Structure 1
């Protein structure tokens, strides 16, 4: 009777790097764990670890009774690479970093594109979009942004201020733009921000008040 394990080995299109199949599994597992750690560090650049949720394959985040969201489906992130046989034959160990790092960078770029696309679509749907050109200046854009957003609290009830993610060009100009905000606009921004913080604390207090307190 034929050995199924031998047949499966012949059907496997991958190039086997080790004579011992168990060594192959150990190597594959090591590379997978390394890529997982690198991807976790990349993800942490964009999303707070406390805000990470997981779902079963094929599912969505949204309950069927709620209004449909712009995009709650899974997105595939993938990368392809070519490894020259000559460098493998020469035992060039630098090939490992020169292969894995570009893979991680490619997957990080795809992740960023996906997350900004989903956030942008959600913002468009509710009208939380600021046109910098129409606003007239960076300071006016900041003021309009604070008027549109809703500040929240973290799991400990502390204020969680929004993050600002900008492109390379604005990143270079940002210190100068912040330094040139007129005093009257800066005061108005702080006033609006204080109102938003007060509203966030009030909502959190109302939320906590809905829970019954244990009898003493």
Structure 2
């Protein structure tokens, strides 16, 4: 049996469509990942699969890139229709599956790291979610951006608990709001001092 003909007039067009298809998936995945990790805090490897960080005193000193793979089937009949919306609808499905795989890896790794450092807050040990939230802010080491503003952490909570936490924030007494603002002020001071110390280690040359 002969192989089915690919519905492209040339190999170059086939490669171009495949490349744009893959690039669309990569863009969708990167857009979703930005909600978890700032693109400024990521590393890109040009070659190789392993990395080392001898100066890391808390986490792993070495590691290896983890592969995420997804299978998707696109019917030849849909391709022949020449309807881009049908073809590229699969990019969203593939990107979603890739993000599900990434999420599992991401939160598993976060649990491992926090367990190693002891930087864990148990909600059951506090009177309310808001109390646990404030305690969490106290344990996190924060940083500042280029303009000297505090980089607040991204909080991920179960969807079932979102409304409950929002109501606790709305109904919180003034003392709780004051406590949270005090924590943020302290973190800003600490982060600013740390950044100044970091910059002071670099050589300063005259203009």
> What TM-score do you get using the length of structure 1 for normalisation?
0.79
151-160 or 51-60: bigger deviation: 151-160
| Partner of residue 180, structure 2 | 189
Equivalent residues in 2 for 1:13-28 (5 A)? 16-28=6-18
2:44 paired residue among 31, 42, 54: 54
Secondary structure in structure 2 of the residue aligned to 1:136: coil
125-134 or 66-75: bigger deviation: 66-75
- Are the counterparts in 2 of residues 139 and 182 from structure 1 also a CA contact under 8 Å? no
Shift of 1:188: 2.2
Q: Structure 1's 187 and 72: CA in aligned 2 closer, same or farther, altered over 3 A?
A: farther
1:136 paired residue among 127, 147, 159: 127
1:69 paired residue among 59, 69, 89: 59
| Partner of residue 194, structure 2 | 203
Tell which has more relative contact order, 1 or 2 (C-alpha 8 A, sep 6+). 2
Cα distance between partner residues in 2 of 1:89 and 1:210: 62
Structure of greater Rg? 1
Cα distance between partner residues in 1 of 2:95 and 2:68: 11
Q: Structure 1's 21 and 137: CA in aligned 2 closer, same or farther, altered over 3 A?
A: same
> What TM-score do you get using the length of structure 2 for normalisation?
0.82
Q: Structure 1's 141 and 65: CA in aligned 2 closer, same or farther, altered over 3 A?
A: closer
Per-residue CA shift, 1:75-95, capped at 9, x if unaligned? 111111223344445556543
Residue ranges of structure 2 left out of the alignment (5+ in a row): none
| Partner of residue 78, structure 1 | 69
Give the aligned length.
204
- Are the counterparts in 1 of residues 78 and 87 from structure 2 also a CA contact under 8 Å? no
Cα distance between partner residues in 1 of 2:202 and 2:8: 60
Cα distance between partner residues in 2 of 1:79 and 1:63: 30
